[in-house]
Amino acid sequence: MDSITLTADLDALAQISAFITEAAELAGLDERATWQVQLAVDEAATNVIQHAYDPDHPGDLTLSWQSDEQRFVIVLRDYGRHFDPHNVPAPDINSSIEERQVGGLGIYLITRLMDEVRFDFNPNGGNLLTMVKYIASGPRDDVVIMPIQGRVDAVTAPQLTRDVHAQIAQGARFVLLDLQEVVFLSSSGLRALLIIRKELMTLGGELRLAALQPQVHEVFALTGFTQVFAIHPTPEEAESAFGQGRA
């Protein structure tokens, strides 16, 4: 296990980023997974810097990592105030930007970007955050790719739901919807996608979307659903992302 110990102040973030980026590359993570790890570690370290210690008396934080063929494990330790993630309210990602309360996004992002997250505390060992990113051995061979065309609205959304349900009934758990030929998406279409996503997640699967036209992507952005769905620029990138995290 390699580790680095730094004073918990904002000046440490650049060194932390360089350390964990090199570690991720040594562990064999691809570019997307490395970016996810970078962001998760930055969010975690920033929380320690801003909340664990008094600003005038920063303590230490220690970042460690180890890996094997399947897992990249990161451990962040500090000796500041006891942190209980259950005391942090879940962020509001459904209201409009103007109405949302600030806070909670850091932990939300960490849990979305990493495959396993665990918080521990004891008086002698301090706060211990363990984050795990799975190392993909190659593209999955069980992804169902479904090209969608035309409009996804109140008329067509029920058929889309039926089509995906038919795939799920046949055992599909990893579904990629290729939306590059979709020219219109309404709230009815969004509701259908939410139902499909929830069903797949309940079964331990994933729904990913790819190649959204600008006007379709804008619907997701306006409703805040870009933070809910896994959206990728191309079907190829989406397919390779299955099993590599929830974001």
Q: What is the pLDDT of residues 163-194, one digit of tens each?
A: 999 999 999 999 999 999 999 999 999 999 99
Q: What is the pTM of this model?
A: 0.56
Distance CA 232, CA 212 (A): 8
What phi and psi, each to the nearest 5 degrees, are found at residue 117? -140, 130
Domain locations along the chain:
2-134, 143-241
CATH topology agreement for domains 2-134 and 143-241? no
pLDDT tens digits along 118-172: 999 888 889 999 999 988 765 667 899 999 999 999 999 999 999 999 999 999 9
90 pLDDT tier (thresholds 50, 70, 90): low
Strand segments (E) across the chain? 2-7, 60-67, 71-78, 116-122, 126-134, 143-152, 174-185, 206-210, 230-232
Q: How far is CA 232 from CA 45, 83, 150, 210, 229, in A?
A: 27, 34, 19, 5, 10
pLDDT tens digits along 10-26: 999 999 999 999 999 99
Structure tokens at 165: 């349900």
Domain 143-241: which CATH number of 3.40.50.150, 3.40.50.10300, 3.40.50.300, 3.30.750.24: 3.30.750.24
Q: What is the pLDDT of residue 92?
A: 52
Say which DSSP state 135 is in: P
SS3 219: helix
End-to-end CA distance of the chain: 27
CATH of domain 2-134: 3.30.565.10
Say which DSSP state 6 is in: E
User: Are 238 and 232 within 8 A, CB to CB?
Assistant: yes
| pLDDT at residue 99 tops 50 | no
CB atoms within 10 A of CB 137: 10
